[in-house]
């Protein structure tokens, strides 16, 4: 194993070894960008979903090879965000004889942050929202990235609204649970829906709920707008325009499957705002020919309006399992929560939940109404909401986790209908 607070020493070690990045996702790409600046050559990426990739800057993406012969001369950096999956991978690598393995999150964060800090000192740092978007440092809840935070505050003119000290790092807004697809294993449980379960939240109610939260906290560093399929919402333009204008809201991330082509181009104009990052989820051959055609049209519109977007073609979903009570011990329950990648603080129809599974598990009656798991925004008094949200954010043992696998190594294909 490898863990070092001496980044210069780490760079020297990497320079003298064949470097393999295990994980070709966002963190892997961010580590690759960082090491390139230190003139460290990457031999290859390893990824369990290697067939979804071609290459990254001509660096091959291969199937992990535990029989790799140069075990003493190779340095493997494990960049999987899900801690449970990382632990399993590291255990396999160690049992196979690999000795130089870097997986410690803090060391990886220090490596990335150190490169940006040097740029700041040299006055050569140029903020790139795309680079920060795939960076684990800006997502760390315990040790914030001051470089990222300064940009959000100064360049995007985002400031704390009050002195409550409550910060929401990321909050999802589920504007509707309506979707044009019915994906197996959908995080929002679309494959369980009946027509009567569909709810479209009026724009005035979405905005009222968000404003009430905004007034109760110091800052919402990122809002993620999603559905269902957000582009099906008839008032999505109104919602986006208002969210962009809230003074203590930072980055706005908009997620769509891209297979719905809006009739009004105003949405693309709004999404071109410098605060916005758009993610188009690519479901490949699982889409109908008409849906695929719409995706092409949406991508062209995003390019036409110079929207900052990314088309995610290599998605893999976690299998969260059924809704049976796992009866985890208190320690195990906390571990499931702490190692989960989907604690997204999702707002739906006036309730702020830990995740979409909590939202829709309750909505569909799959789990009990765990009142301590969420905040009833509309029925909370304004003067008490700040403290209520603060307690909600600190809750690391929500009961919904008793009914979930968490982010384990169990995965399913993304977008299969």
CATH annotation of 7-121: 3.40.50.20
Residue 283's contacts (CB-CB under 8 Å, 6 or more residues apart) are 181, 183, 257, 259, 315, 414, 415
Q: Which residue(s) pair with 21 in the sheet?
A: 45, 77
Structural fold of domain 156-413: TIM Barrel (3.20.20)
d(CA 130, CA 384): 37
Residue 277's contacts (CB-CB under 8 Å, 6 or more residues apart) are 129, 130, 133, 251, 252, 253, 254, 308, 309, 310
What pLDDT, on a 0 to 100 scale, did the predictor assign at position 86?
A: 92
CB atoms within 10 A of CB 342: 18
What pLDDT, on a 0 to 100 scale, did the predictor assign at position 28?
A: 93
Task: Dig out the tokens for 368 from the structure.
Answer: 């009990």
Task: Dig out the tokens for 347 from the structure.
Answer: 């707002």
- Strands 351-353 and 276-281, sheet pairing: unpaired
Q: Where are the beta strands (DSSP E) in 227-354?
A: 249-256, 276-281, 309-312, 316-318, 346-348, 351-353
Q: Taking residues 242-265, what's their average pLDDT?
A: 94
d(CA 169, CA 361): 24
Q: Taking residues 119-148, what's their average pLDDT?
A: 81
| pLDDT tens-digit readout, 8-48 | 888 988 998 999 999 998 899 999 999 999 999 999 999 98
- Confirm if 107 and 2 have CB atoms less than 8 A apart: yes
What pLDDT, on a 0 to 100 scale, did the predictor assign at position 154?
A: 79
Mean pLDDT of the chain: 91
Confidence of residue 142 (pLDDT cuts 50, 70, 90): low
Task: Dig out the tokens for 264 from the structure.
Answer: 């009004």
d(CA 143, CA 154): 20
d(CA 119, CA 107): 19
pLDDT at 4 over 60: no
- Confirm if 396 and 334 have CB atoms less than 8 A apart: yes
Q: Taking residues 350-369, what's their average pLDDT?
A: 96
Domain boundaries, the chain: 7-121, 156-413
Closest alpha carbon to 312 in 36, 112, 49, 6 = 49
Query: What are the DSSP calls for 274-298, one per residue?
Result: TTEEEEEEP-GGGS-HHHHHHHHHH
Calculate the CA 140 to chain-centre distance: 12
């Amino acid at each position: 194993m490898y863990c070092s607070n001496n980044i210069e020493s780490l760079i020297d070690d990497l320079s003298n070894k064949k470097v393999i990045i295990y994980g070709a996702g966002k963190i892997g790409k961010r580590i690759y960008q960082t090491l390139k600046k230190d003139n460290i050559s990457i031999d290859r990426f390893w990824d369990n979903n290697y067939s979804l990739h071609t290459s990254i800057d001509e660096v091959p993406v291969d199937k992990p090879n535990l029989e790799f012969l140069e075990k003493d001369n190779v340095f493997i950096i494990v960049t999987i965000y899900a801690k449970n999956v990382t632990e399993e991978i590291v255990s396999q690598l160690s049992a196979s004889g690999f000795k130089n393995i870097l997986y410690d999150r803090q060391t990886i964060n220090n490596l990335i942050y150190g490169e940006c800090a040097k740029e700041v000192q040299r006055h050569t740092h140029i903020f790139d929202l795309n680079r920060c978007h795939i960076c684990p440092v800006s997502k760390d809840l315990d040790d914030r990235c001051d470089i990222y935070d300064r940009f959000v505050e100064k360049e995007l003119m985002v400031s704390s609204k009050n002195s409550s000290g409550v910060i929401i790092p990321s909050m999802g807004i589920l504007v509707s649970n309506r979707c044009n697809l019915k994906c197996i294993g959908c995080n929002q449980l679309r494959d369980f829906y009946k027509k009567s379960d569909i709810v479209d939240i009026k724009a005035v109610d979405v905005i009222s709920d968000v404003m009430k939260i905004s007034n109760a906290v110091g800052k919402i560093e990122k809002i993620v707008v999603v559905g269902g399929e957000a582009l099906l919402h008839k008032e999505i333009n109104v919602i986006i325009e208002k969210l962009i204008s809230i003074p203590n809201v930072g980055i706005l991330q908009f997620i769509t499957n891209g297979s719905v082509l809006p009739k009004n181009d105003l949405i693309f104009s709004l999404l071109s705002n410098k605060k916005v990052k758009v993610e188009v989820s690519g479901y490949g051959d699982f889409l109908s020919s008409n849906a695929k055609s719409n995706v092409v049209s949406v991508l062209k519109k995003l390019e036409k309006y110079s929207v900052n977007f990314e088309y995610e073609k290599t998605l893999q979903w976690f299998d969260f399992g059924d809704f049976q009570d796992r009866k985890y011990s208190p320690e195990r329950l906390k571990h499931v929560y702490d190692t989960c990648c989907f604690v997204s603080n999702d707002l739906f129809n006036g309730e702020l939940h830990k995740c979409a599974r909590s939202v829709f598990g309750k909505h569909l009656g799959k789990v009990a109404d765990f009142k301590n798991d969420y905040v009833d925004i509309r029925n909370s008094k304004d003067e008490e909401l700040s403290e209520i949200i603060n307690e909600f954010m600190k809750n690391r043992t929500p009961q919904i986790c008793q009914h979930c696998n968490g982010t384990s190594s169990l995965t399913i294909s993304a977008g299969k209908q």
